[in-house]
Amino acid sequence: MKLPHRLHGKTICLIGLMAIFGPLGDVLLRKGMKQIGAVSSWHPEVLLNTFDRTFHSGPIWLGISSLLLFFIAYLLVLSWADYSYVQPASAMGYLFVAVLGYLLLGEVIPRMRWIGVLVICIGVLLVGGTPPRTTEEG
C-alpha cells in the first residue's frame, strides 16, 4: 500500500509508539501476574480472589496503561492505513518482548528460544509485506 507523503511522518511516529508500549505492557502484565501467583484452581472463590488481586496490582495497571497507549496509536494508524500494512510493524515487538523479559524480569531464555523468536519475526515480516488487497472490489 502506498501512503500519501503527508501520512508518512505520523505513521512512522505512531508505529514507533506501538513498538515501545506493546511489549512493555506485556512485560508489566507478566510482572503483575507473577506477583499474584499462578491460577491453580477453577473454584469460583479462588478465581474471584485472583480477579480482585489482579485489579489491585500496580504493575497490572501500568501494563494496562501501556497497552492502552499502544491501542490508541494502533486505532489512529488504522484510520488511514490498512491492517496488512500495520501488521508487519508489530513483528519487532516479539523480539522486544523477549529482550525486555530478559532484562527486566530476568527470564532465562535458552538459545533455541532466541532463534525461534528471530524466525518468528522474519516470518511475520514476510506474512505482512504482501499487497493489502487480493480480492476484487465490490
Size, binding site for other proteins by CB under 8 A = 55
Closer by beta carbon to other proteins, 20 or else 117: 117
Q: How far is the CB of 99 from other proteins (least distance, A)?
A: 9
Closer by beta carbon to other proteins, 48 or else 75: 75
State yes or no: residue 89 binds other proteins (CB under 8 A).
Answer: no
Q: How far is the CB of 59 from other proteins (least distance, A)?
A: 11
CB neighbours of 136 closer than 8 A, spacing ≥ 6?
none
The residues in 46-65 that bind other proteins, with binding defined as CB under 8 A, are 50, 54, 60
Closer by beta carbon to other proteins, 65 or else 114: 114
State yes or no: residue 9 binds other proteins (CB under 8 A).
Answer: no
CA gap 85, 120 in Å, rounded: 18
CA gap 3, 84 in Å, rounded: 13
CA gap 49, 39 in Å, rounded: 10
Q: How far is the CB of 75 from other proteins (least distance, A)?
A: 6
State yes or no: residue 20 binds other proteins (CB under 8 A).
Answer: no
